[in-house]
Amino acid sequence: MRLRPATPDDVPALLAFWKTAAEDTNRVGDDAAAVTALIARDPEALLLAVEGDEIVGSLIAGFDGWRCHLYRFAVHPDRRRRGIGKVLLEAAEQRFHDFGGRRADAMVLDDNTLAHHAWTAGGYAAQPQWRRWVKDL
Ligand SMILES: CC(C)(COP(=O)(O)OP(=O)(O)OC[C@H]1O[C@@H](n2cnc3c(N)ncnc32)[C@H](O)[C@@H]1OP(=O)(O)O)[C@@H](O)C(=O)NCCC(=O)NCCS
């Protein structure tokens, strides 16, 4: 397994991977244009774990100049509990560290206990005093 940034050529396989591996409850849907635009805007943000040509993990480490946001944390169901998620998180945190980021955050569903295990193991904790406020554009 190795890590590398996603390229535009990865987009179709990545969208298929997310259908299998990612959490999709109550989200704005992913599409090729949006993922391609992310890669164009920040070519190092979308981290992939790959085995040969196969995508087995993903994590978006988005830095907007102010905050460090983590999105699309996913590992293929057949490859979980092998440390791939941990390696992705460590790479994302190194990227944030290199930018001078001071705190990373992630949006995690309250009932996604599988994710809670992994985030907790990575040192993340819920901040119950905050709620996410959104508006569709
Ligand atoms: C969350 C996810 C990415 C973790 O990936 P992973 O590669 O399995 O994670 P790791 O193997 O690196 O696990 C790291 C640590 O997290 C904890 N952990 C992960 N999954 C766990 C589980 N099912 N039960 C208990 N602890 C777990 C363990 O402490 C583990 O270390 P250990 O295996 O040495 O005990 C994966 O479960 C996944 O894709 N889930 C579905 C998508 C999702 O919900 N993503 C999060 C959105 S917020």
* Position 26 confidence tier, pLDDT thresholds 50, 70, 90: confident
How many C-beta atoms surround the C-beta of residue 77 within 10 A?
8
For the Cβ of 97 lying below 6 angstroms from any atom of ligand 1, the answer is no
Query: Which residue's structure tokens are 């704005």?
Result: 28
What is the residue with the minimal CA distance to atom 7 of ligand 1? Answer: 85
Give strand pairing partners of 58. 48, 74
- What does the block give as tokens for 125? 């904790």
27 lines ligand 1 (CB under 6 A): no
Digit-coded pLDDT (tens) for 35-56: 999 999 999 999 999 999 999 9
**Tens digits of per-residue pLDDT, 61-102?**
999 999 999 999 999 999 999 999 999 999 999 999 999 999
Buried b (16+ CB within 10 A) or exposed e, 94-119: ebbeeeebeebebebeeeeeebbebb
pLDDT of residue 25: 86
Quick one: pLDDT at residue 28?
A: 87
Any atom of ligand 1 within 6 Å of the Cβ of 20: no
pTM over 0.95: yes
For the chain, domains (ranges, CATH) are 2-121 (3.40.630.30)
Per-chain mean pLDDT for the chain: 96
